[in-house]
Amino acid sequence: MSSVKYAPRIHAVDLFCGVGGLTKGLELAGISVRAGFDIDTSCRYAYEANNSGAEFHSTDIRNLRSEDILPLYRDADYTALVGCAPCQPFSSHASKNQTNVSEEYSLVGEFIRLIRDCKPDFVSMENVRGLSKRPIFDVFLRELGTMEYEYDYDIVSCRDYGVPQNRKRLVLVASRLGKISLPRPTENRSTVGDFIRHLPQIADGTSYPDDPVHCTLPLSDLNMRRMKQSKPGGSWQDWDDDLINECHRKAYYPASYGRMRWNAEAPTITTQFCYYSTGRFGHPEQDRTISVREAALLQTFPERYEFLNEDDPISIREMARHIGNAVPVKLGAAIGETIVEGTHVR
Ligand SMILES: C[S@@+](CC[C@H](N)C(=O)[O-])C[C@H]1O[C@@H](n2cnc3c(N)ncnc32)[C@H](O)[C@@H]1O
């Protein structure tokens, strides 16, 4: 007798959804993301163009109420509330330059408020490692315990989920249904070459006609001379003396002004990947930084993910911010699979 496998309807809502890296990953895992909420309206186009079932709401999370979320869970067998609050206040850079971060801290508090008010079956949060050492994270865990969630969290390496990057992130999953565990490492390690070697060649500062997202900011004449002397995996230390400034020698990141290597993973794709000075963001062999499309592929977005509305274009810098901020899609999919597995405990 054949048995039909029952696929539960899991409805999710994505807080701080950006352009939808996490939403797309959950969707690939079989979760129906009903809506994303984010304050940045420039994310709307990419979010909706690539995630057909999910509506983008331009909202400050501080103004969001359970009445806005609960109707989105109608007809669901299981519900999930996921969120990836802005990382900047918890990054290593921020902890060295303590500024007024209380407002951003409060966004994690807003996430707790919405969990308390909506009581989803599942919760997931992703953030930079630094959050795990902040008091607000202890509050988050304590609140989950009080609400009788079981949870698991750790610093994970995205390379263990098929992302060709040395990107480490704090991931938490929680369930009201019973025990839940972080996603198990899923794939063999992949490299820069696996993800971007097939793309057409483009000159510095140009875009590819068939894919305007395959584009870069132009290098200055000085930086072009530096780029030509940069070696894959190297840095400013490869240049002739007359190209080196004193500030380079003092630079905190020895890998600034570097090129990637085909056969290695990429560095963490940050919001600054469109600049040559901010990391090892040089293309392995062409004299330019990686393009916006290449960065998106290294973040494991699908090949044709749309970031640019040609009727209302945004800048390369804005696309870089969207992509560098995103949860890598493959990490999102691994989180989604954990949530799907979590429904089997009932
Ligand atoms: C780390 S990014 C999220 C990335 C997204 N999860 C993805 O995978 O593409 C954080 C997001 O929080 C948004 N944000 C910052 N403050 C906010 C607020 N008060 N209310 C809503 N969204 C906010 C930012 O616009 C940004 O898109």
279 CB contacts (<8 Å, ≥6 apart)?
253, 255, 256, 258, 267, 268, 270, 272, 273
Most ligand 1 atoms within 8 A of CB, residue of 39, 63, 64 to mutate: 39
pLDDT tens string 257-304: 899 999 999 999 999 999 998 889 999 999 999 999 999 999 999 999
Q: Would you say 321 and 18 are in contact if contact means Cβ atoms under 8 Å apart?
A: no
Share of the chain above pLDDT 70, in %: 91
Query: Measuring from each residue's beta carbon to the nearest atom of ligand 1, which residues come in under 6 Å?
Result: 16-22, 38-40, 43, 60-62, 84, 86-87, 107, 325-327
pLDDT for 35 equals 98
pLDDT band per the 50, 70, 90 thresholds, residue 100 = very low
DSSP 60-115: -GGG--HHHHGGGGTT-SEEEEEE---SGGGSHHHHHS----HHHHHHHHHHHHHH
Distance CA 89, CA 19 (A): 20
pLDDT for 123 equals 98
Which two tokens mark 139? 């509050």
pLDDT for 186 equals 81
Residue 141 has φ and ψ, to the nearest 5°, of -65, -40
Residue 71: pLDDT over 80: yes
Active site residue 87: yes
Q: Tally DSSP H helices, then E strands, for the chain.
A: 12, 9
Domains recognised in the chain with CATH numbers = 10-190+327-345 (3.40.50.150), 192-325 (3.90.120.10)
Q: How far is the centre of ligand 1, averaged over its atoms, from the C-alpha of 243 (Å)?
A: 38
| Mean of pLDDT values over 331-343 | 96
Indicate the DSSP class of residue 239.
S
Most ligand 1 atoms within 8 A of CB, residue of 13, 14, 16 to mutate: 16
pLDDT tens string 213-258: 999 999 999 999 999 999 999 888 889 999 988 777 765 556 678 9
Residue 52: pLDDT over 70: yes
pLDDT tens string 121-143: 999 999 999 999 999 999 999 99
SS3 category, 176: coil
Which two tokens mark 220? 């200055």
